[in-house]
Amino acid sequence: MNSIDRLNKLRDAVPSNIKIVAVSKTKPAASIELLYSKSGQRIFGENKVQELEAKHEILPTDIEWHFIGHLQTNKIKYIAPFVSLIQSVDSFRLLREINKEALKQNRIIPCLLQFYIASEEAKYGFSLEEAFLMLDNNLFHELSNISIKGVMGMATYTNDKQQIRTEFKTLLGYFELIKSRYFAQENDFCEISMGMTDDYLIAIEEGSTIVRIGSGIFGER
Ligand SMILES: *Cc1c(COP(=O)(O)O)cnc(C)c1O
């Protein structure tokens, strides 16, 4: 099967109200262009600033680029002019810097708060306590050029489906708690980005609104 067939199959398996981010990291621009022109795919995800910048420069301007990797503050400026959603906001400091760069671009940058839900050392993200500290801080409410659309998380890389399910349930719980405490009046706080190639079906069962699929579309990296 090629990437077009894999994407079509995936669309059959994913309810139409759930957004599919085609994670194109490490894949050439031509592979993105193919899905863009032949499958009408518009949302692509990248995890490296330089790679995203280079692809953005040569690909159609109506692609919605989602940034899904760890973002260093000194690199925000390169994607601030065009990024559609930064899914991987993992600190208050980063969010304040995104706000600064968004202000310079005279735009509001949509963001998700990334939560740490896995039992692995390496994964980035807020704990619930850290998120509360930020959301309770008056300075947070002065950030006029970012818009928090929801949460994102990655489950542990494991074959234990029950563990993965438990971690997604945790993320859904965080979403609901934060929504009721801080965003109850904001319909825009509605996204739960969870689920990748190996676990997206579980994620959808647990309430995902955005799945991020790389190898399941483009093939192995
Ligand atoms: C690479 C990546 C994905 C996609 O992973 P696949 O297993 O290839 O679907 C999703 N989310 C993030 C944050 C990633 O870095």
Query: 61 C-alpha vs ligand 1 centroid, how far in Å?
Result: 23
Q: Structure tokens of 96? A: 């304040």
Whether residue 125 has its Cβ less than 6 Å from ligand 1: no
pTM of the model as a whole: 0.98
**CA 221 to ligand 1: nearest atom:** 8
Q: Which helix (H) or strand (E) holds 153?
A: strand 146-153
**pLDDT 10s per residue in the chain (221 long)?**
899 999 999 999 999 999 999 999 999 999 999 999 999 999 999 999 999 999 999 999 999 999 999 999 999 999 999 999 999 999 999 999 999 999 999 999 999 999 999 988 767 999 999 999 999 999 999 999 999 999 999 999 999 999 999 999 999 999 999 999 999 999 999 999 999 999 999 999 999 999 999 999 999 99
Domain residues for 16?
Answer: 3-218
Q: Give residues with Cβ within 8 angstroms of 94, minimum separation 6.
A: 71, 73, 76
Query: 211 C-alpha vs ligand 1 centroid, how far in Å?
Result: 9
CB 146 within 8 A of CB 98: yes
Task: Look up the CATH number of the domain holding residue 144.
Answer: 3.20.20.10
Q: What is each CA distance from 209 to 17, 160, 195, in whole angstroms? A: 7, 22, 9
Distance CA 187, CA 67 (A): 22
Q: What is each CA distance from 89 to 68, 86, 116, 148, 217, in whole angstroms? A: 9, 7, 11, 10, 25
Distance CA 122, CA 176 (A): 25
